[in-house]
Structure formats: structure tokens, C-alpha cells
Chain A
């Protein structure tokens, strides 16, 4: 299962947690901490009417028109902005920005870089595990983001 498939699957699943938005935000960060990079994009589909949520990584692009994921995606983006404000002191901006989160992964500490746009005409989110997770070099930059992420190139085939 690729990280894009797993990311989309999180949105299609109904968690038993009391707060699904919190659960989704933290599950996406956990997935990013153990992956290289993945992106999600919300926008009008090919018919220009129904909105589509796409998830992609370097290997695969998957999508859904299910109304549930489409409805909650923007709330998840705003929640990530709020979590970053609480965890790292980032200035709160639910409409977009570049954030970072420190998480643990199966291989140790990881810094996740979050790039997002949350606008009425389209939204996107890229989560990338930093190249130098959790080490002192990263921690020196605690007011900002010390490690540059590698941008993900979307896979071309649709499914």
C-alpha cells in the first residue's frame, strides 16, 4: 500500500475516536513521519462540478468523489494550522502556509514539514518527512523550519 493510498484511506474510514478531525490530522502526520512524502489536493473534477479529493505520491495517484472526505478536508487543514500554533508557536493562518511538527516514527524522531493552501477555489496539502529529523541541527531552528523538504512530483495515472 503506498502512502497516497493510505492517506486517502484515512479519509474514507470512520474513526472510533471522539474527534475525527483530530484523529485525521494526527494520523496524516504519523503517516508522513514514516513515509517520504505525499500530497492531497481538493478541487473541481473533470466535469467542473463535483469536487474530487486526490492523493498522490511519486508512485501513484488515487482519488475519491465521496462527499465525506471532500467535506472534511478543509477542516483538517485548518486543524493542522491550529495544532501548529499550539505545538510550535506558528502564527495561526488557516488559509495556508508552511508548518512543521515533530513526531515519532518506527525509526525514531521525525520532523514533518507541512505545506498547505486552503482556499475556496482549491486546496492542497503536502506532507514531507524532513531530511534531518529530530536532531540538534533541526532543533536549532525551532522558530522556523531548518530542513528543506523534497517536493513530491505527482504520479500521472488516475485511478
Chain B
């Protein structure tokens, strides 16, 4: 997403997670292409939008997770090993 990583980069989170789970193959980032209509669901919620503005894109049961799960099988995904 074209927003700043104000809460850390995906690479930083991947490395921290990998350190917690050392037997799971090392750090990797799952890059997902989320359609604009699903991002628009988050954009329409002021709190979700505020978090996104800092780089935290949060889908949860109250905002966006239903739409994301419905589209999930068709979304483009790429695993980036670090």
C-alpha cells in the first residue's frame, strides 16, 4: 500500500515472528493484492482508516473481514522470503 510504515515494516514483523517460531522455516512476507472495493470498506470506517494511515491495515469482524474472506480464494498472493 502507498502508505507509510509508521508501525514498522512487514520485514520487521516477519523477522520478529520468525524469532518466535524458529522451527517454521524463517522469515517471510505474504503480499496480498486487495481490491480497492475491499480497502474502501476500511476507508469508510474512521478508526480503521486512522490505523491504515499509520500502516496498520486491520481487518476484523466489525470491519472488512467478511469481505476479505469472501474474496480470499481469488486474491493474488506472493510469498517473499527474507
Contacts and interface: CB of A to CB of B under 8 A. Distances in A.
A20 B8 contact: no
Nearest to B45: A71
Contacts of A20: 50, 53
Contacts of A71: 47-48, 51, 58, 60, 62
Contact of B54 (A14, A79, A92): A79
B43 interface: no
B12 A72 contact: no
Contact of B50 (A21, A67, A74, A78): A21
Interface in B53-68: 53-54, 56, 58, 60, 62
Contacts of B12: 92
B6 to A, nearest CB: 6
B6 A22 contact: yes
A19 B55 CA distance: 11
B6 A79 contact: yes
Given A93-B16, A95-B16, A79 B48 contact: no
A9 B15 CA distance: 35
A75 interface: yes
A82 interface: yes
Contacts, number: 56
Interface string A69-96: 0011011001101100000000011110
A47 B8 CA distance: 33
A42 B20 CA distance: 23
A90 B6 CA distance: 15
B53 A21 contact: yes
A68 interface: yes
Interface in A30-86: 67-68, 71-72, 74-75, 78-79, 81-82
21 contacts: A18-B53, A19-B50, A19-B53, A20-B50, A21-B6, A21-B7, A22-B6, A22-B54, A67-B47, A71-B51, A71-B60, A72-B47, A74-B56, A75-B7, A75-B54, A78-B56, A79-B54, A82-B7, A82-B8, A94-B7, A94-B8
Interface of B: 6-8, 12-13, 16, 46-48, 50-51, 53-54, 56, 58, 60, 62
